[in-house]
Amino acid sequence: MAGSTARRRREEAKTEPKAPGEEAKPPHVPELLPAFPGLPLRIWMALLVLLVSAAAVILVSTWKPAEHPGKQTDFEVWASARRNLPDALQMKLALTGFGLCGIPRRGNRCARFVLDGVVPAAEVKELAELLQWLVSEAWGAGSGPPSVVDLHAETISYKDQRGVAVMTLKEKSELQQDNFVNLTMFMEFKSLKFTQKQVEAYSRVRQALRKQLSRLFGVPLEGLQHDMTFFSHINGSKTAQTTHDEYWHSHIDTEQYGTFAYTVLLYLNSADHDFDGGEFIFEESRGNGVVVPAAAVEPRAGRVVAFSSDAENPHKVLKVSRGVRMALTAAFTCSQEQAASIQSFPNPSMVEWSGTAAE
Ligand SMILES: O=C(O)CCC(=O)C(=O)O
Ligand SMILES: [Fe+2]
């Protein structure tokens, strides 16, 4: 490259000999610019540059990405609901160069992963049915679209209505804490028990997610402990009643929950098929509190999303416009103290044991 430029310069010097002291004359360009033949070439060149720049500005400001009917298009869809990811692992890291996640640092806390097929379909189905069963038994659970079931904290979202009205006031006050009821007391009240199959599926899935996370981020398994784990059930036909129901806001998990080091999401059902909307959006931080959508993951039964939980990964869930969206959020911590505060599941008295006891 450098050699050919030098050669061209030598040839130009040969073809345009100049007398000592003679000014270099601009070449004549009659066909190209016939209207103002008197203008010097550098003015023409400046005009040309201006024209090209203006055209580029207009082109960039009016360009819109190709639209898919009914879809938002201000972000790239990394993983669509219709297509299984070609490999078990799609290591589509944030390569946009913006925000703190601009340089993927696998093994150093800043990366985003989307995977399909790491949890057996039968176990995903078992968990989806478990969640649907509990929500149905709890008369639809929360009054707004999102209901949360936490098997460790023993809570399920609750609305004060029909079904619970059959309880005495004393039973109600024992059960209820804010928008939640105590799951164990509620299940006792309704004579419900977990099956051994449900308990085992839950435990295996949680362990599988932990192993995947350890592999993806290169964190030794022993260092990676379970933090909160909870199910979310978003019913698109309900209307938000309180600010707690507004699940669609952008957030950072460490700010929202306080302790997470890593967040793993497992989707229990699929966009398009079971519900509309509900895309998970990874955002990019542009500084000064400005976050912009960066990439969308459409939920698909069995799909896993894993990311480090701090400011490098702001995210949100888009509104669900039809159907019910179900997911498991499994958080992980590196703090032994935090891990020790998480209650184990199950309470053996809540399980209908069918054979050998679960680990
Ligand atoms: O359900 C999802 O896709 C994301 C949930 C989430 O952001 C959270 O639980 O903090
Ligand atoms: Fe979150």
Minimum-distance ligand 1 atom for the alpha carbon of 257: 10
Q: Is 317 in the pocket of ligand 1 (CB under 6 A)?
A: yes
Going by C-alpha positions, the residue among 311, 314, 303 that lies closest to residue 90 is: 303
Minimum-distance ligand 1 atom for the alpha carbon of 297: 3
Q: CB neighbours (10 Å) of residue 39?
A: 13
Residue nearest to atom 1 of ligand 1 (CA): 327
Assess whether 106 carries a catalytic annotation. Answer: no
Interface confidence, given as ipTM, is 0.99
Residue nearest to atom 7 of ligand 1 (CA): 316
Strands (E), 93-179: 112-115, 146-150, 155-157, 176-177
Tell whether the model's pLDDT for residue 288 goes beyond 90: no
The preferred substitution site among 229, 265, 281 for testing ligand 1, maximizing ligand atoms within 8 Å of CB, is: 265
> Residue 18's pLDDT is what?
41
End-to-end Cα, the chain, rounded Å = 67
What is the tens place of the pLDDT at every residue in 55-84?
766 665 554 444 344 455 567 787 888 888
- Confidence grade of residue 253 (pLDDT, cut at 50, 70, 90): very high
> Residue 177's pLDDT is what?
55
Longest dimension (CA), the chain: 110
**Annotated catalytic residue: which of 206, 210, 300, 325?**
325
Which one of the ligands is nearest to 278 CA?
1
What is the tens place of the pLDDT at every residue in 144-193?
899 999 999 999 988 764 444 445 545 555 555 567 888 998 899 999 99
Residue nearest to atom 8 of ligand 1 (CA): 329
Rg of the chain over Cα atoms, rounded to whole angstroms, equals 30
What is the tens place of the pLDDT at every residue in 29-56?
334 334 445 667 788 788 888 888 777 6
CA distance linking residue 280 with residue 305, whole number of Å: 9
Q: How far is the CA of 336 from the centre of ligand 1 (A)?
A: 24
